[in-house]
């Protein structure tokens, strides 16, 4: 039905009140002396006749559609999918993930929170990109991985985050993996490390990385001997996060490894209200899927390469936000 000029003017005015001025349909009805049902019909017609165009825009590097689909599939609190760099087909954890994760932490962390940072290249990139955080305490959740590279900045990441927030820093000056359980236990009782461990149960927001069980994509994999790697592979390990190993269904395997590691416990991670994982790249997609199925993670920052694989992978997993232990423990 064709709209006359009076109807067009009225429809435009009502649309302006509703979409731009934020007035309710009842308020608009009272102003124009019509029923709210008439207002609803006019607004609907305005959309149909292209008088009103609604455009949802996010920054070009963010993929809102994939983000929402991924959040719904895994029952996450937040999922942010970033466009993969054109040349990053084989590269896990593009650096732009850290930049977006830094902005996300700026949203999630509140004054007085305790922020926990686990070792990982992506968390190091995130800390370097931080430019705002409310006053909070920052604690390191794992020991460090020192392979003689410039990427071993766990302590620096904690200090950087604390500097931005103006809060206290509690770094851990110890390796992530020790030769045996006795050495690890002795280190946990050293004053500085013990002080950091005391904060683990107080962490309110944590930032973690995810590794695939292959060379160069998993910190723990690279630290183990060939014999140890073969042993854990035989247990079905598909992913690791903060020195905890997971099979494809998100069940923890190889728990004995944790006795040799300086790291936050899995049950402590499960009690943290917000656990943000930063991981991307198609090569890491299976590992990301495994960790998300564990229920330890509440939010994810990833890229389109990983997201496309995740959305096509297997049956829909159990929602993460029930945070149930898949092992029943």
CA atoms of 220 and 240, how far apart (whole Å): 7
pLDDT of residue 56: 62
Are the C-beta atoms of 151 and 128 separated by less than 8 Å? no
- Look up the pTM and report it: 0.79
Which residues, at least 6 apart from 316, have a Cβ–Cβ distance to it below 8 Å? Answer: 73
What are 296-309's pLDDT values in tens digits? 999 999 999 999 99
Mean pLDDT, range 191-204, rounded to an integer: 94
Are the C-beta atoms of 298 and 104 separated by less than 8 Å? no
Give the residue with greater pLDDT, 320 vs 100: 100
pLDDT at 213 over 90: no
Are the C-beta atoms of 130 and 104 separated by less than 8 Å? no
What are 278-290's pLDDT values in tens digits? 999 888 999 999 9
């Amino acid at each position: 039905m064709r709209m006359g000029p009076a109807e067009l003017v009225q429809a435009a005015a009502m649309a302006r009140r509703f979409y731009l001025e934020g007035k309710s349909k009842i308020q608009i009805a009272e102003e124009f002396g019509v029923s709210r049902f008439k207002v609803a019909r006019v607004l609907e017609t305005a959309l149909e006749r292209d008088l009103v165009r609604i455009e949802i825009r996010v920054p070009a590097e963010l993929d809102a559609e994939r983000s929402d689909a991924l959040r719904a599939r895994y029952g996450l609190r937040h999922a942010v999918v970033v466009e993969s760099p054109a040349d990053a087909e084989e590269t896990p954890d593009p650096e732009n993930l850290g930049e977006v994760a830094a902005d996300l932490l700026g949203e999630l962390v509140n004054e007085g929170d305790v922020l926990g940072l686990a070792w990982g290249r992506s968390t190091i990139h995130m800390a370097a990109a931080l430019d705002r955080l409310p006053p909070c305490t920052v604690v390191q959740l794992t020991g460090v991985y020192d392979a003689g590279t410039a990427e071993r900045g766990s302590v620096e990441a904690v200090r950087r985050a604390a500097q931005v927030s103006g809060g206290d820093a509690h770094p851990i000056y110890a390796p992530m993996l020790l030769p045996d359980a006795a050495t690890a236990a002795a280190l946990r009782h050293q004053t500085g490390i013990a002080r950091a461990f005391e904060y683990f149960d107080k962490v309110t927001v944590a930032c973690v990385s995810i590794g695939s069980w292959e060379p160069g994509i998993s910190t723990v994999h690279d630290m183990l001997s060939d014999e140890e790697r073969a042993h854990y592979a035989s247990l079905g390990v598909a992913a690791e996060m903060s020195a905890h190993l997971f099979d494809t269904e998100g069940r923890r395997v190889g728990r004995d490894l944790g006795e040799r590691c300086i790291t936050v416990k899995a049950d402590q991670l499960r009690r943290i209200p917000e656990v943000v994982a930063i991981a991307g790249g198609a090569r890491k997609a299976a590992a990301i899927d495994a960790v998300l199925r564990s229920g330890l993670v509440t939010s994810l920052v990833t890229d389109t390469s990983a997201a496309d694989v995740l959305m096509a992978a297997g049956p829909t997993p159990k929602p993460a936000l029930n945070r149930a232990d898949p092992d029943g423990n």
